[in-house]
Amino acid sequence: MDTTLHLMNIIIHVITGSIALIAGFVILFKTKGTPLHRKLGYLFMGCMVIVVTTGAFGVIVFKRNLFLLLITILAGYNTYSGFRIIKEKTNRFYVKDFFAMLAAFTMAVVFIYYLRFIGFYWDPVIIFSGVGYLLLVISYDILRYFIPSSRYGNVWRYEHSSKMISALGALFSAFTGTLLPDYKPYSQILPSLLMTLIMILFNIKIYRRLKKKSLQTQLE
């Protein structure tokens, strides 16, 4: 029974993860803000909810691959936070966002202490880069509440882009790490580095577009 349930969980996890990957990469290279972008965004988010749920289920219930727990926390929080910011477009404080941050932080700390207890059997680069990035995102989400509303402006655009690309990067890293286990840790690190570069390029693109729009407004 456990074997059948575990197999079903894996199948659902792999299928929805693959759909999320495809949708995410299509979004990257298509025009932003279009109906297609929004539809694919909802598809990506829906699939990520299932991916995170089945990933957590696999780790907690079946005691499989703790690396998936780290990826699950990282991808899950970035997806949630990235979706929330596109809905609100402000740095207004919401209690549910605070609890999401608290949950992600708690799980990250428990994850580190558990690994210290059983011994680090992965490359430390994988562990500390993943946890470090998650804590960096959470730290920013706390500090952004102190940005005056008058100065916050279009920061939400950078937040949404960065967090959704980070979620896609975590998913991509899990995919390549699972598909190419003999090449770890490079099969996990290199996809993350690639997506980080893409994230930087997209934020530069957003900055240039907003600057151009501002100049056009001043000339009118």
Q: What confidence tens digit (pLDDT) does each residue in 106-158 have?
A: 888 877 777 676 655 556 677 778 888 888 999 999 999 999 988 898 999 99
pLDDT, tens digit (0-9, with 9 covering 90-100), for 208-219: 999 888 787 777
What is the rounded CA–CA span in Å between residue 115 and residue 32?
Answer: 40
pLDDT of residue 118: 60
The answer to whether residue 218 is domain-embedded is no
The stretch 76-84 carries a mean pLDDT of 93
The answer to whether residue 73 is domain-embedded is yes
The answer to whether residue 220 is domain-embedded is no
User: Is the confidence at residue 63, as pLDDT, over 70?
Assistant: no
pLDDT of residue 37: 92
The answer to whether residue 9 is domain-embedded is yes
Task: Tell which residue, 97, 104, 214, 106, has the closest CA to residue 159.
Answer: 97
Domain count, the chain: 1
What is the rounded CA–CA span in Å between residue 85 and residue 157?
Answer: 8
210 within 8 A of 157, measured Cβ to Cβ: yes
Token digits of residue 83: 């979706």
User: Is the confidence at residue 44, as pLDDT, over 90?
Assistant: yes
pLDDT of residue 106: 87
In which domain, by residue range, is 183 found? 2-213
125 exposure class (CB count in 10 Å sphere: 0-12, 13-18, 19+) = exposed
The answer to whether residue 219 is domain-embedded is no
